[in-house]
């Protein structure tokens, strides 16, 4: 199973970005999908999660500014980020509960995409 994130970049404070991440592999099942981020010198932190039926959870720091969504047919998860702040600067990683056909569930982090917000 591979996770490929994209959509990061450099944006001014107050701007918006949309991150995408797709899980690929043969005959996989996907459950919860989430985004985490890691700023320089800090631990990785939870950003948002969406269940297979669309129930969402957000970190307090991004509530009202970020929206997580998913496309079950594409095994993809998205993060629409608005009103970005310099404190949102981090490497963003998607995170998926995935099970290959005939296999067991595992929790997988993908390669990150850099988001930089300038003041």
pLDDT in tens, 60-91: 999 999 999 999 999 999 999 999 999 999 99
Work out the angle at residue 106's Cα, subtended by the Cα atoms of residues 18 and 115, and round it to the nearest 5 degrees: 20
Question: Does the structure show a pLDDT above 80 at 1?
Answer: no
User: Using the 8-state DSSP alphabet, how is residue 52 labeled?
Assistant: T
pLDDT of residue 101: 85
Where does the pLDDT of residue 9 fall: very low under 50, low under 70, confident under 90, or very high at 90 and above? very high
Write the CA distances from 84 to 15, 53, 61, integer angstroms: 5, 27, 11
pLDDT of residue 26: 72
The mean per-residue pLDDT over the stretch 89-107 comes to: 93
**Torsion over CA: 57, 58, 64, 66 (sign):** negative
pLDDT tens across 49-59, in order? 999 999 999 99
The mean per-residue pLDDT over the stretch 27-46 comes to: 94
């Amino acid at each position: 199973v591979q996770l490929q994130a994209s959509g990061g970049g450099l944006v001014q404070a107050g701007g918006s970005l949309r991150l995408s991440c797709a899980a690929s592999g043969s005959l996989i099942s996907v459950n919860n999908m989430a985004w985490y981020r890691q700023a320089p010198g800090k631990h990785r932190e939870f950003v948002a999660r969406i269940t297979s039926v669309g129930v969402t959870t957000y970190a307090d720091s991004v509530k009202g500014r970020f929206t997580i969504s998913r496309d079950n047919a594409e095994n993809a998860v998205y993060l629409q980020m608005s009103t970005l702040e310099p404190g949102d600067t981090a490497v963003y990683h998607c995170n998926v509960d995935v099970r290959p056909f005939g296999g067991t569930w595992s929790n997988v982090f993908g390669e990150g995409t850099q988001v930089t917000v300038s003041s």
